[in-house]
Amino acid sequence: MKQLVFRDYLLAMYYTHIFDYQGEMQLNYRNTNNQQKPDSSKIQTPDRQYFSFLKELNLNNPQYLYAHSFPAFTQELLTNNILNIPRIRDTPVDEWVRNTKQILAPLLGFDQGMFYDMLIGNAYGLQFEVEVQPLSPTQIDNIKKYYKGSDLEKLLLRRNQEVIQTALSKNKLVINDTPGVPAEALMNAIIARYKGKTVIVDFWATWCIPCLEAIKDSRALKMRIADNDATFIYITNPSSPKKLWKERIQGIGGEHYYLTSKEWTYLYEHYKFEGVPSYLVFDKKGY
């Protein structure tokens, strides 16, 4: 049990901190420079070799199958901008695995084993959890050809049926332009667009695991209040890479705004937030 807890914690530390090299370096800089933001030239973007630390984790160890952090760890691996692993989409599984091994095998220290089997499942899981997008007919055919009736095939197809039902309740996605007003007038300008509705504002980020879990857990709530003139608004800032943000919001739905750092900082300080996720609720009169 001690080993299991250690490995679980280890994975969580890696995907929340070590994977986000630039974010951690920016935080270190601000903590040692009176909260001043670093100039972009001060923090270099590492190359793939940075991830050579993955060899030390021995990710083929079956104990990782019992770690709660393992799915999140593999999803962060699959969406990391530096590694740039291709999304599986309609690619035949054998072809996707071959291309992915070219990227990961030198960093992991192995090109066979349990880890790659689980990575395939999580590649499809990423589509389920992030985009809330059911499998296409081609994907189902690819899975059946690769797994040949195994338990992993059954698991993926069963999860697909659940996602089909969840997708039916997903709110329409709307990406909004931020109102062209001063930061101090921004929230009022946003809320004014939804006059006569209760507005729930979610301040979140793509790197924030509690944010993503809360968004997932709120799906049932959104279904219950969908007919009660309620609108969900999601607000983030440049700490969320725009490419990843556009992927994440596919499975969220609702109204989305991508603020500048200046706009975000003003709202963050004005409402005295202490972190994300943070929420604001406005009644039908905008109060």
Mean pLDDT of 54-70: 94
Mean pLDDT of 52-74: 94
- For the chain, domains (ranges, CATH) are 2-168 (no CATH), 173-282 (3.40.30.10)
**Spatial separation of the C-alpha atoms in residues 129 and 213, rounded to whole Å:** 10
For residue range 142-199, what is the model confidence (pLDDT) as tens digits? 999 999 999 999 999 999 999 998 777 677 889 999 999 999 999 999 999 998 999 9
**pTM of the shown model:** 0.76
Q: What is the pLDDT of residue 40?
A: 60
> What are the structure tokens assigned to 174, written together?
């709307």
What is the side-by-side strand order in the sheet with 198-203?
Answer: 173-175, 254-258, 230-236, 198-203, 278-282
Alpha helices in the chain (DSSP H): 2-13, 21-32, 70-79, 93-108, 114-126, 137-147, 151-168, 186-192, 209-217, 219-225, 242-248, 261-270
Mean pLDDT of 257-280: 94
Mean pLDDT of 251-255: 89
Mean pLDDT value across the chain: 91
Mean pLDDT of 13-27: 85
